[in-house]
Structure formats: structure tokens, C-alpha cells
Chains A and B, each alone.
Chain A
Amino acid sequence: MSSREKILQQIKLNKPAETELPSRINFDSNYENTEVKFIETLAAVYTEVIVATSLADLKMKVSEMYTGVVNRATTIPFLSDWADFSLNISDPHDLETIEIAVLQAEFGVAENGAVWISDNHLPHRALPFITQNLAFVIPRNKIVNNMHDAYQILADTTGWGCFISGPSKTADIEQSLVIGAHGARSLVIFLLEEGF
């Protein structure tokens, strides 16, 4: 008998009497202002949230914020002439020199400041992790209250996706918080009013 069969048989033999799933698994978070909560939560994880009224405004703000930075990549077509690093490569290892990546993401979650990014808008899964600095752009009206709401949106998932809340961090040395462990050293989130 294979290990698979052995394990499954043993489980069948030993499992407890059947119980049902709880009838209620979703809870509401009633924030006075979802966007304000989102911004507050992100401030606590060292992430700035900036409103951009249009794609043109976004381009201006991004150019200003990252003046002098080379190896700029983006997945947003409108910013393609701002970028100087093409993502048109096949080996993700080639992304290692990217300094800033401005990426289109899908939505934000107010309770924990997480932003969902997935294969939908991403040519390389390694990109949000390997870049030294990271910026997400999400539609301003796409912020949900909590994770239960988030999974309602994610009913149909892609091959890979990730909630990212703040820059990479660690406190493994005497519980001292250090930003920039292995992933991005900084994160900025742009809320785009119109354009996507």
C-alpha cells in the first residue's frame, strides 16, 4: 500500500464524528471612513498613501518622487515613457537591478493596509519582491473594509496572488524593527481617482 493510501486509511479510521461548518464566517467592519482607516493602518507600517487625480497627475507625482533614480520599471502603460527598464525579459533574475517598480494592483483592505496584486497585472511574480523600492497604484474606489470583503472579490483566483501590507521587514534581531529585510525597502500606494 502506498503512503498515500496508508495515510488516508488511517485518517478515515481515526477522525472524529462529523461536524458542520459554522453558518456564519463573515463579519462586518463598520469604519466611519474606509479610506481614512486604510491610510491610518498603512502609516503604522511605514507606508505613504497618495491620491492621484488622473494618470497625468500620477505621472507627475511619480516622476517627482523618484527623481534621479535609475532602473525604473512599471506595468502601467501610461507611465511607460517614465520607465527606463523594460519588463520584456524572460528570466526573472534579470530584474535584480530594478530600483523602483510602480505596479498596477487590484484593491486595498482597510483593516490591515494590504493591497492585492496578482498574475492579472504582473508579468513576473518576483517583481514586487526583488525591486528595491515599490509603489502600487489602485483605483481610489477599490478599498474594502476587511478580509472577509476581500475574499468576496477573490472568488475567482488567478495562478498566483499576494496581499502585501507595507515594505519588507524583520524584528529578528532583539525585536528591533528593521525595514527592508529581503523585499522592498519602501512602499508607496497611489490611489488613482480615474484612468484605469
Chain B
Amino acid sequence: MSKSVIEHSVASETFNKDESYVNWHDETLWFVRQKRDKSAMQLPEWEELRETASQIKHYVLSHMDDLLQSFEAKAKENGIHVHWAADAAEHNEIVLGLLKKHNIDKLVKSKSMLTEECHMNDFLIQNGVDVIDSDLGERIVQLRNEPPSHIVLPAIHLKKKDIGDLFHEFLGTEAGATDPQYLTEAARQHLRDKFLTRRAALTGVNFAVAETGGFVVSTNEGNADMGAHLADIHIACMGFEKIIPKQEHLGVFLRLLARSATGQPITTYSSHFKTPREGQEMHIVILDSGRSAQLGREDFRNSLKCIRCGACMNTCPVYRRSGGHSYHNAVAGPIGSILAPNLDMTKNADLPFASTLCGSCSNVCPVKIDIHEQLYKWRQVLVKGGYVPKGKEMGVKAMSVVLSNPRFYQWSGKLGRSVMRAMPFVVNNGLNPWYKQREMPEAPTESFRDWYVRNRRE
């Protein structure tokens, strides 16, 4: 099996080299999770809201074609051009085509995980279009030539010193400066110039409303609006699962989204676009790229309910200690790990294994996706399909033999304990994966079973 990506477990090892850095990453994300809890607990109806959102999204899954068609009809009535893209390549060609038609070679873009998924920036740059990401975190990772490591907090893997050094090199800030206020101001000036000079803006879509043909874009920085309202042409890109039936459903989703993401009661800006402004051209690109296939997978279709809040990442003990880049997918963390195998089982076979199956992701998910159950189910699909390295399969098979033969289990336990006591170096070394970042426990002199048998006799 050939793989062009570094497996999650290998990449995590690199991420874990600096213990204080990993601890910082872990604690920072846990802090965001705690803010989410505090915010959620202020609403007595929180659990009902989650259930309602989940049911609305289920309705969406089961009426997807009708809703998309009514959205399209309304959007067209409102003067918006609607495009359909079967895959990433078609999506990128549509965007490039629109820019070429207007002789535009510079684009300002706000956050869109979808364009990350399509690797649109690389494609446009290869075709002579200069793309500037305008979300501060995205601009930071773009200058570093890296993808975002988190869907809501793109630069969460970086320390302010990294950003200070980066801005010194690219934006001419003072060497050694690390004050976030100062660095943000430098980015504001740098990007303001882009907003004022770029004729085309691309934004993502948080929610598209079938009833009105409108769509909502949420940001804290105001970058989506700055781009869209100043540009001659606004292109909004969405996966088809972003559709919701009615405008009043936004009441449910906007109450859940920011609280789940960062603990804010709402993002600073929730911009509702319905018609282009006078003299402006507005386009929507609706992307499939494997989503319709996922819709057909009964065990996994609920993953399409995702509203991209990132709560499952902030709470995940594996994500917090391995970082977003270890997932080698545009969407990282637990949700990314159940979306990615649908796109490419060979490349992403490792991801459903990057989990302890603790279930914390499912507990915080605002639309109640059964994330940890899907992780478990993907493992089975991937092993059956032959996508998992033989070593892992053999290990699990060996374990199954041991666990299903009581005598063999007792004997091997005894053997293991005496080996660990007599020759601890056999397990306390780098060859044992359980020894990494851990001290092996001291082996007990007897097993629980031995103890139980002995005490019952007495």
C-alpha cells in the first residue's frame, strides 16, 4: 500500500517531541472547551436545542434534493448565479473561470474549509491568480505555507513568537515583537489594503436557506463582509449539506454555533446575504465531492449534519495532544476522521484509529452526530476492505486469540508480569509503543484473578 501522507501516529510523535509545547496546546484547547460548557449551561434549553438542530438536519438529509432545488430557484430569483460542481476540480475551474471572465488575477478570501478541501489556493496560484486569505489565523498559516490546523482556530498550533518572527519577515514588524495587539494591528493594515484593492472576494457559507435563497456567513473579524461588500464580484462556496429549510431555523443554529465553537453567545458578525448589491455580481458554487456518496452510507451519513463548530476537536484528548496537522486532512479531529475515509480510504485509513473512542466528541456535538460510534464503524469497514496495515490486523487477531482462551490468557499474563519484574528493560524501551510518552507501570506480583481465588479460599 503506497501512501503519500505521514500517518497520524507518526506525525503525532513529532508533535509530542516538546512536552511543554504539547501541554500548552492541550490546555489551550481544553480552556476553549470549558468556555463552551459555561456558555451552554446558561441555556436551560441547551439539550433541546441540540436535539432540535439534529432533527432539522435529519430532515435536510432526507429532503436534500428538494431543498437544493428550491434554494437554487430562490437564489436565481434574487439575482444570484448558481453553479454546481461534482468534484474539487470542477469547483476550482468554476472559480477560475469566473475570475478570468472578469480579467481578475487577485482574490481576497475569507475562511472557507471547503476551498481547503479542494486545494483551491494552490490551483488558482498555479493559474496566475494571487489569493490572499483574510482571516488573521488563515493569513498566518498561509504566510507559513501551511494548512490551517483547526477549522475555527487555524493557527492554534503556533506560539506568538512564531507569529512575531513571521510578521517580521513578511509584514516588516519589529524583530522580536510578540504583543498580539501590535501584531494584529500590523495584519489589519496589511489586509485593509487588500480589501480596498481586490475586485473579487470569495467567502464560505455557514448556512444556506432553501426558503429564501439567502445564505449566512459568520465571522468575528468582519473579514468576510469587508471583502464581499467592496468587491465587484462575490463568490460563495458551499458543500451541499449547508442547506437548511427555513430562515427561522437559523434561530436554532446561530444559538448553537458560536457557543459550541468558542463559548461566545454569537459571533460578532452573522451576515445574511440574499441579493447582490447594486452593480455587483454574486455567485454560489454548490459542491458535491463525495457528499452524495456519504449520504448513501447509512452508518456515516449523519456526519453531513456537521456545522463546523470545532467543539469535537477542542474536547478530543487525541486531537489536543497530536495537533491538527497530524490528521493530514482539511478538517482534522474527530469529525475530520469520519469525513475523510469517505473521500479516500487508502489515504485516510489511519484516521478513525486516532481516537480513544471515549465519546466526548459526541457529547459536545451541537447537532448530535454519533461521532465516536462512526469512528468505531469506520475501523471495521477499513479493516474489511484491506486498508489497514497487516501489522495492526495481526495484533488485533493475536489479542483476540489471547482474550478468547482463558487458560492462555492466564498463562500469558503470568509470563508478562514476571518478565516485567525480572527484566523491565524488555518493555521499558523505545521499541514498545506503549512506552512512548509514558512510564510503564510496576508489574503487580499477582493478577486480580489470583487474588480473588486466594481470598475466596480463605
Structural contact, B61 and A16, CB atoms closer than 8 A: yes
Assuming A157-B214, A167-B268, A168-B222, is B229 touching A22 (CB within 8 A)?
no
Cα-based distance from A6 to B63 in the complex (angstroms)? 16
Write out the residue numbers on chain A whose beta carbons fall within 8 Å of the beta carbon of B296.
10, 13-14
Structural contact, A181 and B275, CB atoms closer than 8 A: no
Question: Which of chain B's residues has its CB closest to A127's CB?
Answer: B229
What sequence of 0s and 1s flags, for each residue 251-293 of chain B, a beta carbon within 8 Å of any chain A beta carbon?
A: 1101100000010111111111111110000000010100011
- B90, B223, B250: the one contacting A181 at CB < 8 Å is B223
Assuming A126-B225, A182-B188, is B250 touching A175 (CB within 8 A)?
no
Assuming A181-B220, A183-B268, is B255 touching A147 (CB within 8 A)?
yes
Cα-based distance from A181 to B134 in the complex (angstroms)? 10
Chain A interface mostly: loop
Assuming A15-B295, A92-B230, A168-B268, is B254 touching A129 (CB within 8 A)?
no
Write out the residue numbers on chain B whose beta carbons fall within 8 Å of the beta carbon of A96.
192, 196
Q: Does B31 contact A (CB under 8 A)?
A: yes
> How far is the CB of A157 from the nearest CB of chain B, in Å?
6
Complex interface residues of chain A between 1 and 33 (CB less than 8 A to chain B): 2-4, 6-8, 10-22, 24-27, 29
Write out the residue numbers on chain A whose beta carbons fall within 8 Å of the beta carbon of B19.
none
- A8, A147, A172: the one contacting B154 at CB < 8 Å is A172
Cα-based distance from A34 to B60 in the complex (angstroms)? 34
Structural contact, B45 and A27, CB atoms closer than 8 A: yes
> How far is the CB of A42 from the nearest CB of chain B, in Å?
10
Cα-based distance from A96 to B192 in the complex (angstroms)? 9
Cα-based distance from A124 to B278 in the complex (angstroms)? 10
Write out the residue numbers on chain B whose beta carbons fall within 8 Å of the beta carbon of A129.
222, 225-226, 229, 269
Q: Which candidate, A51-59, A61-69, A71-79, A106-114, is the interface stretch facing chain B? A: A106-114
Q: How many residues of A contact B (CB 8 A)?
A: 75
Question: Which of chain B's residues has its CB closest to A173's CB?
Answer: B180
Write out the residue numbers on chain B whose beta carbons fall within 8 Å of the beta carbon of A158.
274
Q: How many residues of B contact A (CB 8 A)?
A: 92
Write out the residue numbers on chain B whose beta carbons fall within 8 Å of the beta carbon of A163.
254, 266, 269-270, 272
Structural contact, A41 and B265, CB atoms closer than 8 A: yes
Write out the residue numbers on chain B whose beta carbons fall within 8 Å of the beta carbon of A17.
62
Structural contact, B84 and A2, CB atoms closer than 8 A: yes
Cα-based distance from A16 to B297 in the complex (angstroms)? 9
Structural contact, B191 and A173, CB atoms closer than 8 A: no
Q: Does B59 contact A (CB under 8 A)?
A: yes
Question: Which of chain A's residues has its CB closest to B274's CB?
Answer: A159
Complex interface residues of chain A between 122 and 174 (CB less than 8 A to chain B): 124-126, 128-130, 146-148, 150-152, 154-155, 157-174
Residues of B bordering A, CB below 8 Å: 28, 31-32, 43, 45, 48-49, 51-52, 55-56, 58-59, 61-65, 68-69, 78, 84-86, 90, 134-137, 140, 153-156, 158-160, 163, 180-181, 183-185, 187-188, 191-192, 195-196, 212, 214, 220-223, 225-226, 229-230, 240, 245, 247-252, 254-255, 262, 264-277, 286, 288, 292-293, 295-296, 298, 301
Can you list 13 A-B pairs with a CB-CB distance of less than 8 A? A4-B84, A7-B288, A14-B293, A19-B62, A96-B196, A130-B226, A146-B251, A152-B248, A155-B247, A170-B136, A172-B155, A181-B220, A182-B223
